[in-house]
C-alpha cells in the first residue's frame, strides 16, 4: 500500500475547544487524504466527525496544574509549568509516527513553538504555524505590556515564529503585523463555517428545545420570566410536546407567538470579553420597558404592548440569553446574574455538545459577540459560526472587526452597553412578526454564511501552504 503523507496537529490546550484545529484535521484527512495525528490536552469532547474519522488519531496529554506552587511564587510556578509542558510535549511529539509536517496552533507560544521546532529539527519534519492571535498580548492583559515577562514572551514568539517553513493567520491585519514587525510572510486563512453550521428546520429546533427544556424552564435557584415550575423531564408525566418556544400537535409543529426572543452568545469567560456590557444592556432593556409600563402590573405579561414613539404600539418580547462556554470568570458572572432583578429578561449559562451547539445557533433570533481581541488583530470564530446558521450578530467594535461584520448588513457594531440596549430595542420591536430590521440582518447573515465555506477556503489558502511543506518532506523521506 502506498504511504500517505502525514501531518501532526499540535495544540497545547483543550482540543475540544479548538474548533479551527479540528477543522484543519478534518480537511487534511477528508479533502487532502492525509494521515493526521492530533497532539493536545484533553477536556472537552471533540466533534463527532473528528472522533469517527479513520484517518485521524487523537493523542491526549495530561494538563499541568501547579496551584499549590503558584501560591508560594507565581513566577516560579510559571517557569516550572513551562518546563514540565516542554518535556511532556516533546515526549508526545516523538511518540507519534513521524509526520511530514507539524501544524501548530499559536498561541500559546511558550513552550509550544520551541518544543515543536526541536522535534522538527530532530525528526526532519516541516514546521507550519497557524497564528490565531499573539500570545504576548494575551499575557499583557494580566501583567501589562511593559512587564519583563511579557517582553521576553514577545521575543520568544517572534524568534521562533520566524523559523516556520509555512505560516497561516486569521486576518489581513494580522498578516500585515507579522510582515512588518516579525519578518514573517503569512497566508490569510479566514475562519469560515463548516457544513454542519447551517439554518435548521423547526423539527430540529423543537427536538433541541425538548432536550434543553429542564435547563431552560427549571434551572436550579432561578425563578424568572421564562421558568415554568413544571415537572422534570425524568417524570413520566412531563409533557415535552410543548417547550417555551414551540409546540407540537400530532405531526404539526409551530413556534409560539408569545415565545421569548432567543439571544445566544458563546464565551471563554476570559478578560478579553467584557461580559458586564451584556448584563448592563439587558438591565437597560428591562428598565426601559418597565418605565414605559409606568409600573402597571395589570398588563398581560404574555402580550405586552407598549407605546414608545409616534403613538404607535409595538410588541417588545421577553429576552432569553443563553450563554455557552467554559472559562475562569464564569462563576463570577453567574453570581452577578443572580443579583440582577429583571422582569422581562433572563439568562441561562450552559455547555453544549459540538453537535447541539450549531442547532442552538440555528434556532436563535440574534447572536451577541463580546470579543475585543487582546491584539486587535484576530476575529471571533463564534460570529463565523453564527453567520453559517443565518444568525445576525451584535458585536463589540474593534480595529479589524470590519473584515467580518458589515455594520447594518449582517450585524450591528456597538461600543457601550447603552448602544447595545438601543440595538436590542430596535431589532426586537414588533417581535416576532413585525421586526423588519432584524429580518433584514438575518438575510444578510445568511448571504454571508452561504457565500463561503471552510472546505473551499481551506483548499484555496491553507492546503497550498501545508502541501508545499509536507510533500517536500514526504518526498525526502521516501527517496
In terms of Cβ atoms closer than 10 Å to its own Cβ (0-12, 13-18, 19+), residue 124 is exposed
Shared domain for 298 and 361, answered yes or no, is yes
Residue 142 pLDDT class (50, 70, 90 cuts): confident
How many domains is the chain partitioned into structurally? 2
Supply the CATH number for residue 104's domain: 3.40.50.2000
Who has greater pLDDT, 104 or 399? Answer: 104
Q: Tell me if 423 is assigned to some domain.
A: yes
Shared domain for 415 and 363, answered yes or no, is yes
Residue 125 pLDDT class (50, 70, 90 cuts): very high
Q: Which of 157-171, 177-191, 329-343, 406-420 has the lowest mean pLDDT?
A: 329-343
Q: pLDDT value at position 140?
A: 87
Residue 230 pLDDT class (50, 70, 90 cuts): low
The residue segments making up the domain with residue 334 are: 202-451
Q: pLDDT value at position 4?
A: 84
Which residues share a beta bridge with 345? 319
Shared domain for 250 and 188, answered yes or no, is no
Cβ atoms within 10 Å, residue 425: 17
Residue-wise pLDDT tens digits, 353-368: 888 999 999 999 999 9
- Burial readout 163-193 (b: 16 or more C-beta within 10 A, e: otherwise): ebbbbbbbbebbbebbeeebebebebbbbbb
Task: Please state, rounded to an integer, the average pLDDT across all residues of the chain.
Answer: 87
Does the pLDDT value for residue 31 go beyond 50? yes
Q: Which of 85-89, 245-249, 430-434, 471-475 has the lowest mean pLDDT?
A: 471-475
* DSSP sequence for 104-160: EEES--TTHHHHHHHHHHHHT-EEEEEESS-HHHHHHHHH-TTSHHHHHHHHHHHHH
Q: Tell me if 1 is assigned to some domain.
A: no
Cell numbers placing 266:
458563546
Residue 335 pLDDT class (50, 70, 90 cuts): confident
Mean pLDDT value of segment 279-290:
91
Q: pLDDT value at position 329?
A: 83
Residue 229 pLDDT class (50, 70, 90 cuts): low
Shared domain for 293 and 441, answered yes or no, is yes
Q: Tell me if 124 is assigned to some domain.
A: yes
Q: pLDDT value at position 223?
A: 73
Shared domain for 116 and 248, answered yes or no, is no
Q: What radius of gyration do the chain's Cα atoms show?
A: 24
Q: pLDDT value at position 452?
A: 84
Mean pLDDT value of segment 368-393:
92
- Angle, alpha carbons 280-283-287 (nearest 5°): 140
Which of 404, 265, 272, 264 lies closest to 328, judged by CA?
Answer: 272
Work out the angle between the directed axes of helices 381-388 and 19-26 (0-180°, nearest 10).
Answer: 60
Q: Which residues contact 277 (CB under 8 A, 6 or more apart)?
A: 370, 396, 416, 417, 420
Q: pLDDT value at position 464?
A: 96
Residue that is written with C-alpha cell 509526520 in the block: 99
Mean pLDDT value of segment 89-117:
96
Sign for the CA dihedral angle at 308, 281, 361, 344 comes to negative
Does the pLDDT value for residue 331 go beyond 90? no
Shared domain for 305 and 331, answered yes or no, is yes
Residue 298 pLDDT class (50, 70, 90 cuts): very low
Shared domain for 161 and 237, answered yes or no, is no
Q: pLDDT value at position 376?
A: 85
Mean pLDDT value of segment 9-37:
95
- Burial readout 282-307 (b: 16 or more C-beta within 10 A, e: otherwise): bbbbbebbeeebeeeeeeeeeebebe
- Burial readout 27-61 (b: 16 or more C-beta within 10 A, e: otherwise): bbbeebebbbbbbbbeeeebbebbeebebbbbbeb
Shared domain for 461 and 445, answered yes or no, is no
Shared domain for 146 and 237, answered yes or no, is no
Residue-wise pLDDT tens digits, 50-69: 999 999 999 999 887 766 55
Does the pLDDT value for residue 196 go beyond 50? yes
Taking the C-alpha atoms of residue 338 and residue 343, their distance in angstroms, rounded to an integer, is 13
Cis peptide before 437 (omega within 30 of 0): no
Does the pLDDT value for residue 234 go beyond 80? no
Q: Tell me if 361 is assigned to some domain.
A: yes
Mean pLDDT value of segment 16-39:
95
Q: pLDDT value at position 303?
A: 44
- CA quadruple 210, 213, 216, 218: dihedral, nearest 10: 170
- Classify residue 453 by its DSSP letter: -
Taking the C-alpha atoms of residue 418 and residue 424, their distance in angstroms, rounded to an integer, is 10
Residue 2 pLDDT class (50, 70, 90 cuts): low
Does the pLDDT value for residue 184 go beyond 60? yes
Which of 285, 205, 294, 184 lies closest to 247, judged by CA?
Answer: 205
Who has greater pLDDT, 144 or 161? Answer: 161
Taking the C-alpha atoms of residue 352 and residue 264, their distance in angstroms, rounded to an integer, is 12
Does the pLDDT value for residue 163 go beyond 90? yes
Q: pLDDT value at position 66?
A: 67
Q: pLDDT value at position 236?
A: 40
Taking the C-alpha atoms of residue 257 and residue 433, their distance in angstroms, rounded to an integer, is 8
- Classify residue 407 by its DSSP letter: B
Does the pLDDT value for residue 84 go beyond 60? yes
Percentage of the chain beyond pLDDT 90 is 58
Shared domain for 465 and 367, answered yes or no, is no
Does the pLDDT value for residue 235 go beyond 60? no
Q: pLDDT value at position 305?
A: 47
Helix-, strand-, coil-residue percentages of the chain, each rounded to 5:
45, 20, 35
Shared domain for 334 and 380, answered yes or no, is yes
Shared domain for 133 and 158, answered yes or no, is yes
Q: pLDDT value at position 219?
A: 66
Mean pLDDT value of segment 376-397:
94
Tell me the CA end-to-end span of the chain in Å, nearest whole number: 16
Q: Tell me if 197 is assigned to some domain.
A: no
Who has greater pLDDT, 288 or 439? Answer: 439
Q: pLDDT value at position 65?
A: 72
Sign for the CA dihedral angle at 189, 194, 195, 201 comes to negative
Amino acid at each position: 500500500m502506498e504511504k500517505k503523507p502525514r501531518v501532526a496537529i499540535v495544540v497545547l490546550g483543550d482540543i475540544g475547544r479548538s474548533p479551527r484545529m479540528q477543522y484543519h484535521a478534518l480537511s487534511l484527512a477528508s479533502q487532502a487524504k492525509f494521515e493526521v495525528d492530533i497532539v493536545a490536552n484533553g477536556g472537552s469532547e471533540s466533534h463527532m466527525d473528528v472522533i469517527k474519522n479513520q484517518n485521524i488519531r487523537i493523542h491526549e496529554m495530561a494538563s499541568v496544574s501547579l496551584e499549590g506552587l503558584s501560591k508560594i511564587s507565581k513566577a516560579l510556578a510559571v517557569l516550572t509549568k513551562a518546563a514540565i509542558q516542554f518535556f511532556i510535549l516533546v515526549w508526545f511529539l516523538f511518540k507519534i509516527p513521524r509526520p511530514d509536517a507539524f501544524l501548530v496552533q499559536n498561541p500559546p507560544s511558550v513552550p509550544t513553538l520551541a518544543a515543536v521546532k526541536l522535534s522538527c529539527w530532530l525528526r526532519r519534519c516541516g514546521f507550519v504555524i497557524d497564528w490565531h492571535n499573539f500570545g504576548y498580548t494575551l499575557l499583557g492583559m494580566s501583567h501589562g505590556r511593559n512587564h519583563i515577562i511579557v517582553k521576553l514572551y514577545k521575543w520568544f514568539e517572534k524568534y521562533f515564529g520566524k523559523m516556520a517553513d509555512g505560516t497561516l493567520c486569521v486576518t489581513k491585519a494580522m498578516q500585515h503585523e507579522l510582515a512588518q514587525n516579525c519578518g514573517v510572510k503569512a497566508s490569510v486563512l479566514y475562519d469560515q463555517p463548516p457544513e454542519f453550521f447551517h439554518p435548521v428546520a423547526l423539527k430540529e429546533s423543537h427536538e433541541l428545545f425538548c432536550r434543553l427544556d429542564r435547563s431552560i424552564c427549571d434551572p436550579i435557584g432561578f425563578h424568572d420570566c421564562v421558568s415554568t415550575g413544571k415537572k422534570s423531564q425524568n417524570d413520566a408525566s412531563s409533557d415535552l410536546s410543548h417547550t417555551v418556544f414551540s409546540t407540537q400537535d400530532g405531526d404539526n409543529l409551530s413556534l409560539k407567538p408569545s415565545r421569548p426572543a432567543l439571544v445566544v452568545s458563546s464565551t471563554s469567560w476570559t478578560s478579553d470579553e467584557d461580559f458586564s456590557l451584556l448584563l448592563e444592556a439587558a438591565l437597560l432593556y428591562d428598565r426601559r420597558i418597565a418605565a414605559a409600563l409606568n409600573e402597571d402590573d395589570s398588563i398581560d405579561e404574555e402580550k405586552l404592548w407598549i407605546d414608545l414613539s409616534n403613538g404607535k404600539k409595538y410588541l417588545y418580547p421577553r429576552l432569553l440569553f443563553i450563554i455557552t462556554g467554559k472559562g475562569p470568570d464564569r462563576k463570577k458572572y453567574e453570581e452577578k446574574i443572580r443579583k440582577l432583578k429583571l422582569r422581562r429578561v433572563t439568562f441561562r449559562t450552559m455547555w453544549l455538545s459540538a453537535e447541539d451547539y450549531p442547532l442552538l445557533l440555528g434556532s436563535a433570533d440574534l447572536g451577541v459577540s463580546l470579543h475585543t481581541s487582546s491584539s486587535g488583530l484576530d476575529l471571533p470564530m463564534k460570529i463565523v459560526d453564527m453567520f453559517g446558521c443565518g444568525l445576525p450578530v451584535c458585536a463589540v467594535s474593534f480595529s479589524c472587526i470590519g473584515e467580518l461584520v458589515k455594520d447594518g448588513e449582517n450585524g450591528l457594531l456597538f461600543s457601550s452597553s447603552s448602544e447595545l440596549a438601543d440595538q436590542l430595542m430596535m431589532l426586537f420591536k414588533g417581535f416576532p412578526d413585525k421586526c423588519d430590521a432584524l429580518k433584514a440582518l438575518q438575510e444578510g447573515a445568511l448571504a454571508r454564511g452561504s457565500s463561503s465555506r471552510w472546505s473551499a477556503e481551506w483548499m484555496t489558502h491553507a492546503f497550498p501552504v501545508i502541501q508545499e511543506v509536507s510533500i517536500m518532506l514526504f518526498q525526502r523521506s521516501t527517496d
